[in-house]
Structures are given as structure tokens and as C-alpha cells.
Structure 1
């Protein structure tokens, strides 16, 4: 067992190295990139929305996913062809809730004559707010208090010195609220999102309403069954505490009675402090937690470091932000990944 000082030193070294090795999450699937004249054209921003839109749209819709394999959406910048395609499409579907910070500027850049309708498909989901920054200011509530606090901090910096300004800025940042954008990770929220996608397809292409309704019903039935599986099986587990690599499971935790503890914040590359890692390690030991969850699309270095310090093992918990190359080849989708999540949760919480 390491002493606190030696443990903190080791963790700080790992944190520094991991900043260079983090592989981003969020958005890992690609699709066709060509507008089709005889179908309703739908542009989506990342994998879960793409999957739901493609399933509901079926043969009546041409669905184009903007984010290619291996690209992290928090820092992604649209290409010229993305603007061209979206300008010609009928629907532009994005998650919202602060996930895609580039959307406002992207929409301003569309052709002046575009008829595309931009839809925030997370509308109707009861959003979770947190004081935890995501590392990119995505999901930050645009409230006057936060801006006034920042301005006050700058003013204090000018008149009373840098240290006081940093204190004021930290207080302002702590008061700012951030929206958790990971709505789709809960089947309950995903059902609301699928309903929004159906409604927009029907409105854009009423001639094929029957097909959209029928395919939506099939998708909704699968989501309801998934919800029932999570509800029934997780209600029976004796433990409810999960430790995850990044704070992507708030909606799943809320809807199924779990408590989430995250190594990183809302963004998978928000860097934790060594003291935070030590506190988590102590909590893991005190609560008898047996597994630390990591994500396949994010470096597992921090999760393994925490697991090693606490003397526990690691397991995958997938935020379903995209597919790996192997998952795509194997035919995995939202439902297979979520069933894998359920099985790993059941193993960890027994």
C-alpha cells in the first residue's frame, strides 16, 4: 500500500501522461454523404441519433451522419461539404442540451435559401444540471450571474492582483450550472428522442407517414423492453454505487436508482486532480465497490490506476456515443451495447 504522498505523486504522473493519451468519446459512426433527390434527406450529428433516424426512416429517408469514425464531437469542426449537404437536406437532427457547441455557428453558415429544419431531439427530456464543468464549457447555462462573476473577477485582477481575481473567477465558475447532455444513455430518454424524430419525419414527409409510424412502433417496442429490463434487474441488485471514467451516466443513474461517481467530468478529457483520485479510491474501499467502469473509446489509464490503487477490477460501461471499428463490423448497435451495459452493471452491483 502506498503512503498518501507517494500515492498522490504517482497519480499526478499518471494524470499528466493520460492527458496526452486520452482517446475521445462521443460520435463514432459514419454513413453515406450524398444527398438523394427522391427521398427526405436527414442530417444527424452523431451515432445514436443516426441509428434512430435510420431505423425510423427506413427506405423512405436518406440519413447522413456528420461525424466520421474516430472524431470527437466536442472539438469537431464541420467541413464545407457538411454545410452543403445540410443546406440541401430537409431535416438537421442534433442532440442539443449543450452537446454540439458548434451548432449555432454551423446553422448561420448554411446557404441563405436553405429549407432545412433544425431539430433538437432531446427536447422533452427532463435535463440534469450540475455544477461540474465539462472541460469545454459545453452545456454551460448562459446566466447573468456567471458573466457578472467573470467580469468582476477581471476587474479585481486589474485593481487588486491576480490571486484575488482567480478566487473570484473560481467562485463564479462554481455558481455556473452545466447541463448533462448524455440524454440517450437512458432508454427512457431515448424513447422521447425517438418520438421527436418520428414526428419530424412525418411532418417533413407526410406521404410516408404510415411507414414512419410503423417503424417507430418497432423501435419504441425495443426501447420499452430495454427500459423494462433495466428497471426490473437493477431494482434487485443490493448495491447502487457505480464509479465511471467520465460523467456520462447521469440519466441512466437517475432513471434506475443508481449513484454515479465520475473520475472525469462531463467531458471525457476533463482532467481530475490527484486528490480527487485519492478520495475516490478511499470511497471505493469504504463502500466495498468491486469494479471501476471504463469506456472503450476513451483511454482506460485513469480507470486502471484507480482500480489498482483501490485493489479492484475494471469493466466496460459504454455511453453509446459511437461504435468502434470492430463493433461496426460485428453488427453491434444501441441495443446490443446497452444490453452489454446491463450485464456488466449486474455483475458489478451484486
Structure 2
């Protein structure tokens, strides 16, 4: 009887032990996951700690900072930066960093309050990367509205305007070179001892952006067609620099809803001008672009505004340069 009771107790002890191990493993996993997030934002001793507000700045900072920098992007892969807002841990991480890079020009609607929350003891250098670029003001009237012959009042035009400035400066390689120079200056100011290294790496990315600029200039200049129809009004700087004209379904913000009349006007413009493709982007819904393409009986293509990478692009090692080259290929296809 004593032996039987011991065996039963032994089994109970064995089950309890297994449950405890499972519970302990779960706790370790939760802690590890939490620590993983914190580790990503953690400062690295001996390096210039840089936080960026979205992907293009992250890419340029990594290229220019090299091994001297620990660069962390606040917005995760696959997240649309227009929709992202910072959390308290982001504020804490930035306050402890040496450099914080943001685009400016109205892209980060949260940035003014964010910077005010850093506190007087924070020594982080905050840099508006778009500084020095001639900004595009307002929402240009769409060609489809001009062709429609409709006389819109000032109030009507204002009602579907998304802002006073187009923030999408980085989408043009020519503007991106200005942004890269601002990032170089931030590294040099923060770490003047290694100025030569930052200058060398900056010259490397400047050369690649310059080659990209030359390709866009030469290869797009040969086409008579200059109109592109896009889902999101994100290509103003690219169009300005390479003499193109964008007709946008949605405004400066990718979640700005178009009016029904705008869609009808664009569909008519596509048909009357034999536009072969309607461009959409990967980080926002392509439903409107596809609906319009079906109505106009044309196909769709990707034109990437490079606001962020998809997880697949991140895993495949895609970057600003490779994605802009794909944009060039698709633009050539659409302009033929």
C-alpha cells in the first residue's frame, strides 16, 4: 500500500514537474520576446546611435554611418509610415540616441510634439533630412479635372486638398542626394574625429544616387508620353525632376478618399489618352487602382514610393537603389 501511494505520488510529482517546466519555458519565451524588442532599441556603446523615422533615412544612415553607427528604424517593415505613431518606448530610445533623423516637410505629423517630449536633458541631434530641398507646395490640380472642363471653386479645391506641402521628397534620386548630404553632416557634427570615413561613404552613396539620377534623366527623356496615373500622389518630386506628370487617384496621404467625380474623370482621361497602366503601391490597398484599371480596361503596375520595405523585400535584401531601378523599368514600360 505504501509502495502504491508512493508511485501515485511519483506520477503526480512527475506531471507537476512537467507543468512547471512548460510554464517556465513560456515565461522565458515571453521575457525573451520582450527583451528582443528592447534590445533592438538599445544603445550600443562605442557607436553613434541613430534612430530614423522611416526606411529611406535608415538606408542612407546605414550606408554613411557604416561600422561606426548603430542605426535603428522606428517603423517596422511592412508598416505604412503615414499610419504610424510613436510610443513611449520610441521617445525614450530617441532621447538616449546621438542622432534622430526625420524627413520633415509634413511627413511626420507627430514630430513636433515628439521632439517637445524629449526633455531638456536630452543631447540628441535632431535632423530634418529634407532641409534644402525646394518643396512642392499644395496639391496640384489633376489633369483629369482640367480636361473635364469643370469650374471648381476655391472652396471645392480646398476641400479635397490633403496638405500645404508634398512631403515625398525622397522619391526622386536628385532630392535623395540632398538628404544624404544632410545625414553626412549630422555624422560629422556628432563624430568629427571620423569625418574622413563619413565623407568617403557619403561619396559612395552620392555616386550611386548620381548614376540613378542619370539613368532616370536619359532613359525617360526619349518617350513622347509624359503622363502617369498613380494610386497615391507621392511622385511629385520625381515628376518635377524628370519632366513627368502624375494623375493621382488619392491625394498626398494614401488614405485620402477620392471623390466619385475624380474617379470618373481619371477613367475618362486614361481611355482618351491610351494610358496603358495604372500604378499602385505595395504598402497600401490596391483596390481603387484595380477597380479603376478594370473600368478603363488597362493593366496595373507597381510604382514604389519607397516609404518602407515589405517583409519579403527586406528578407530578399532589396534596398532604395534596387527598388528605384525597378521603378525606372516600370516607368519605361508605362511610357512606351
Q: Does 1:115 align with 2:123?
A: yes
Q: Does 1:314 align with 2:312?
A: no
Partner of 2:87: 79
Distance in 2 (CA, whole Å) between partners of 1:295 and 1:71 is 13
Q: C-alpha displacement at 1:171, in angstroms? A: 7.5
Contact 1:32 1:65 in 2 (8 A): no
Q: C-alpha displacement at 1:174, in angstroms? A: 7.4
Residue 41 of structure 2 aligns to a residue whose secondary structure is coil
Which residues of 2 match residues 239-250 of structure 1 at below 5 A? Answer: 239-250=225-236
Structure 2 unaligned blocks of 5 or more:
1-38, 142-152
Partner of 2:72: 64
Residue 272 of structure 1 aligns to a residue whose secondary structure is coil
Contact 1:32 1:63 in 2 (8 A): no
Partner of 2:54: 46
Which structure would you say has the larger RCO, counting Cα contacts within 8 Å and 6 or more residues apart?
A: 1
Partner of 2:198: 212
Q: C-alpha displacement at 1:168, in angstroms? A: 9.8
Question: Structure 1 residues 216, 67: closer, same or farther in 2, change over 3 A?
Answer: same
Distance in 1 (CA, whole Å) between partners of 2:297 and 2:74 is 41
Partner of 2:333: 347
Partner of 2:13: none
Structure 1 unaligned blocks of 5 or more:
1-30, 134-166
Distance in 2 (CA, whole Å) between partners of 1:293 and 1:168 is 29
Residue 97 of structure 1 aligns to a residue whose secondary structure is coil
Q: Which runs of 4+ in 1 moved over 2 A?
A: 69-77, 167-177
- Count residues in correspondence: 287
Contact 1:42 1:92 in 2 (8 A): yes
Q: Deviations over 1:194-228 (max 9, x none)?
A: 00100110011011111101110110000000000
Larger displacement relative to structure 2 (191-200 or 76-85): 76-85
Q: C-alpha displacement at 1:43, in angstroms? A: 1.1
Instruction: Please tell me the root mean square deviation across aligned C-alpha atoms, in Å.
Output: 2.0
Q: Does 1:195 align with 2:203?
A: no
Contact 1:132 1:178 in 2 (8 A): no
Larger displacement relative to structure 2 (123-132 or 324-333): 123-132
Which residues of 2 match residues 244-323 of structure 1 at below 5 A? Answer: 244-323=230-309
Contact 1:90 1:117 in 2 (8 A): yes
Distance in 2 (CA, whole Å) between partners of 1:330 and 1:73 is 21
Q: Deviations over 1:151-194 (max 9, x none)?
A: xxxxxxxxxxxxxxxx9976765799610000000000000000
Residue 61 of structure 2 aligns to a residue whose secondary structure is helix
Contact 1:132 1:266 in 2 (8 A): no
Partner of 1:33: 41
TM-score, length-normalised on structure 2? 0.81
Contact 2:103 2:128 in 1 (8 A): yes
Distance in 1 (CA, whole Å) between partners of 2:266 and 2:331 is 19
Greater gyration radius: 2
Residue 194 of structure 1 aligns to a residue whose secondary structure is helix
TM-score, length-normalised on structure 1? 0.78
